[in-house]
Chains A and B, each alone.
Chain A
Amino acid sequence: MAFRLKKIRTRPKRKVNRSWFGTLLIFIVLGLFGAFMALPLIYTINNAFKPLDEIFLFPPRFLVRNPTINNFVDLFNLMATSWVPFSRYIFNTLFITIVGTVGHIILSAAAAYPLAKHHFPGKNILFTIVVLSLMFSPHVTAVPNYMTMSFLGWVDTYWAVIVPSFAFSLGLYLMKQFMEQIPDTLLEAARIDGASEYRIFWQIVMPIVKPAWLTLVILLFQQLWGTDGGNFIYSEELKTMNYAMGQIIQGGIARAGAAAAVALMLMAVPIVIFLFSQASIIQTMSSSGIKE
């Protein structure tokens, strides 16, 4: 597909009419707050590689002196002897995140395409409801959702966590706003060539909105990667990595090294994904605004 959406223009050099003092101030402000933002993360990275004696050093030291991967070895040893092997927690988290994310991207893109490009009665009402649903948090619906899940018999299965995430409203909203930029002439040309709407959606629209997929991946990671199964998952073998981390942390001093290792694993994956998809995400966000 040769066609691409308008890329974000790199900013042409604007004349900086700022005093050196202003520049200094900006650097100081960004430096201070940047440190505030980054230090806990740097600490997590360092801690994961600290040998035990450094973790309990007093006064505490921030950076690691003699890095070691013992904590990771400990973690897997510890979890190999436990009732549910640690790899199972990793699998659960991966399964929930991947199925939830892929399902959400496909379903919300399918719903966003008609909302963005077709004209049919009820379109505005549906989209208004979606925008309104951004205005309250999922906590509001937690109680009825629990009842629904127990009615469906989904309590204590992966589906109780995965299926509601398919219909996460922020994803549909961003997808629809992004799709509006696709030129109608392109779709019209495909229609004249005899492509069905489903084919247009799958073969033309989906490849174009790739930046929006990546944005949805990050958003869903925010929701699912850190899930502890909420109130839905009770069986030990279905529990997630985040839940396991909570258990290890509660193990106290003896488990501090292993806890630091899990923390790093949980933290690193979403950040690495963002690292590689940043440009696409910013591109998607440029169409995120609520229009009057």
Chain B
Amino acid sequence: MLQSKVLDEDLPMLHDRNREQKRKREQSLFQKVKVNLKQHKHSYVLMAPYFVLFFMFTVLPVIISIVVSFTYFNMLEFPRWVGWHNYARLFLEDDVFLISLKNTVLFAAITGPLSYIACFIFAWLINEFGPKLRAFLTLIFFAPSISGNIFFIWLIIFSGDSYGYANGMLMRLGIVYEPIQWLHDAKYVLAIVMVVQLWLSLGTSFLAFIAGLQNIDLTLYEAGAIDGIRNRYQELWFITLPSMKPQLMFGAVIQITMSFAVADVSMALAGFPSVQYAAHTIVTHLIDYGTIRFEMGYASAIATILFLIMMLSNLVVQRLLRKVGD
């Protein structure tokens, strides 16, 4: 009698407990987030200003760009959905885009690896010297990449009249007899833009490599010598490169991104548009449609393709670099 009463009294409590557990389970996600926010309030507050801007100007635009690339949008009328039309137009109707794609890929395939290797080789050679000479050489090699838009100097060097240094030298040496129109001849212009881009390319990754080389544990070389490493090249492949793998990966990201993003140099030297579109790149095509013609949908399609090319080549190269020294 008494027991059953107790049980009866217990039952509602049990019910309550069940309900509470259920409610707890339902609330758990919300509660978790709330507890988490409270617990890590400081972290989130510190990060908020940066990440709000970062999402606003980097993450969101990528998404917007992909969405807008499926529309016709001219900034005045409301965007109109056109499906794959922009992409079809790019690859089937726009001959200039195909030229720019070819130039960009050619450009990246040549200046990307060359500048990457140059960054490493010069860092490697410079590292052989004492601190003073090393600092001086670093300054010389790094200076062009931070000297602002000084690359217009190359306009004077490759100027099309006989006042240009390149023409002046060649004429004095008797190699050519009349000035060459370096920047207005489709034969030369892409090569010249490449040279200037290489001149500018010993930047952040070059410094990262120098730092990486200086931080290699020297005892590794002694250990390597005992383990039978015979020459500098084996040392390079089995010790130096694997020791600075993180810097190599970082440098690759910077160089690849840079080699696909050529526009300023091309526009400053070759003009915009360049002769026969010989130095037209995906980015200059994007600038043409995005800031002159205001065909935002079409420009977004170009931007999306550029984004995909950059991401894919970066991810593939990262894969390859993991194999260094294996």
Contacts and interface: CB of A to CB of B under 8 A. Distances in A.
Interface stretch (A63-71, A73-81, A84-92, A167-175): A167-175
B47 A147 contact: no
Interface stretch (B18-26, B91-99, B295-303): B295-303
Contact of B153 (A131, A147, A263): A263
B65 A141 contact: yes
A288 interface: yes
Contacts of B260: 137
Interface centre among A110, A143, A290 (most CB of B within 10 A): A143
Contacts of B139: 271, 274-275, 278
Given A107-B49, A197-B46, A289-B246, A40 B210 contact: no
Interface residues of B, number: 104
B87 interface: no
Contacts of B152: 249, 263
B210 A41 contact: no
B310 interface: yes
Contacts of B135: 278-279
Contacts of A284: 211
Interface in B140-174: 140-154, 156-157, 162-163, 165, 168, 172
Given A59-B168, A147-B296, A197-B42, A136 B257 contact: yes
Interface in A234-273: 242, 245, 249, 263, 266-267, 270-271
Interface residues of A, number: 99
B54 A169 contact: yes
Contacts of A59: 168, 172
Interface string A99-119: 000000001101101110010
B198 to A, nearest CB: 9
A151 B34 CA distance: 33
B291 interface: yes
A164 interface: yes
B310 A140 contact: yes
B82 interface: no
Contacts of B246: 288-292
Interface in A33-47: 33-34, 36-38, 40-41, 43-44
Interface of A: 8-12, 14, 16-18, 26, 29-30, 33-34, 36-38, 40-41, 43-44, 56, 58-60, 62, 107-108, 110-111, 113-115, 118, 120-121, 126, 129-137, 139-148, 150, 163-164, 166-167, 169-170, 172, 196-198, 201, 218-219, 221-222, 225-226, 228, 231, 242, 245, 249, 263, 266-267, 270-271, 274-275, 278-279, 281-286, 288-292
21 contacts: A12-B218, A58-B163, A107-B49, A107-B53, A111-B49, A114-B46, A133-B54, A135-B253, A135-B311, A136-B306, A136-B307, A137-B261, A141-B61, A147-B64, A150-B75, A167-B56, A270-B147, A271-B146, A285-B247, A289-B248, A292-B245
Interface of B: 36, 39-40, 42-47, 49-51, 53-54, 56-62, 64-65, 68, 75, 122, 125-128, 131, 135, 137-154, 156-157, 162-163, 165, 168, 172, 199, 202-204, 207-208, 210-212, 214-215, 218, 221, 232, 244-250, 253-254, 256-258, 260-261, 263, 283, 286-287, 290-291, 296, 299-300, 303-304, 306-307, 310-311, 314-315, 318, 322
